[in-house]
A and B are shown apart, each in its own frame.
Chain A
Amino acid sequence: MKDLKSQASRSTTPGKGGLTPEIQSRIGHQLRAMYDDVVRQGVPDRFAELIKKLDAPGATPQLGDEGGSNDNNNGRD
């Protein structure tokens, strides 16, 4: 029981910004869990293909108002 008490008093000692280390680490843990959940999904095909396509020499991305015009020009020289 003594151990529990000392643990509790340690975790209620406010750290930076008036937060206990316990709460700080809990927030950090949840933030990273949420973030890493997305990171673990990797690179969606859509982006892998986009970067591959644009890698071809001369295929500078068009940053106009429309992205659709590229498709129409594909058949031409």
Chain B
Amino acid sequence: MPLTDSLRNDILAAVPSLRAFAISLSGNADRADDLVQETLLRALANIDSFQPGSNLPAWLFTILRNLFRSDYRKRRREVEDAEGNYAKTLKTQPSQNAHLEFEEFRTALEKLPQDQREALILVGASGFSYEDAASICGCAVGTIKSRVNRARSKLAALLYVDGAEDFGPDETIRAVIGGSGG
């Protein structure tokens, strides 16, 4: 469809979420904004192929995800060349009010396999349905579900080191100590 004012506004409205997705994927704010810019250029160049009434955010996310994927393959070689340097840039780009909590979480997220990370973000943060996430990633709905589950399990193992078993009792002890002190 042609680029109408309302379509342009819809694209603009999707930008904050596209940026958040790009940063979660790449772990690097500068690179994320380059990805978003390229996504917008590509979307606008191919706007005729967008079906009116279909899911615009999903269409834009698909473009961004594919760009990241092809870029990722290139970067991987660079990482092997410049051992360590790239990994460092991932950690030195905290957002304005990133707290230690975010940093820990981000680091854990970086350790997930690509497939699992994107599935978890699309469903758990971007708010896409399993069906939309599956179409964005070009795979079956069941595959997305199992990737999300594996991503959650792995994050839990990374973040709550003592494992799921210890979490409940710990909380109870803390509650008891806190409760009897007053």
Give A residues with C-beta under 8 Å from B: 1, 4-5, 7-9, 11-12, 14, 16-20, 22-24, 26-28, 30-44, 46-48, 50-51, 54-55, 60-61, 63, 67
Contact = CB atoms under 8 A, between A and B. Distances in A.
A31 B124 contact: yes
B20 interface: yes
Interface of B: 3, 5, 8, 11-12, 15-17, 19-21, 23-24, 33, 36-37, 40-42, 44-45, 95-98, 101-102, 105-106, 109, 120-121, 124-126, 149-150, 152-153, 155-156, 159-160, 164-165, 167-169, 171-172, 175-176, 179
A7 B172 CA distance: 8
B160 A4 contact: no
B142 to A, nearest CB: 14
A47 B20 contact: no
Contact of B20 (A24, A27, A39): A39
B124 A51 contact: no
Contacts of B44: 51, 54, 60-61
B168 to A, nearest CB: 3
A44 B8 contact: no
Contacts of B20: 35-39
Nearest to B29: A38
A67 to B, nearest CB: 8
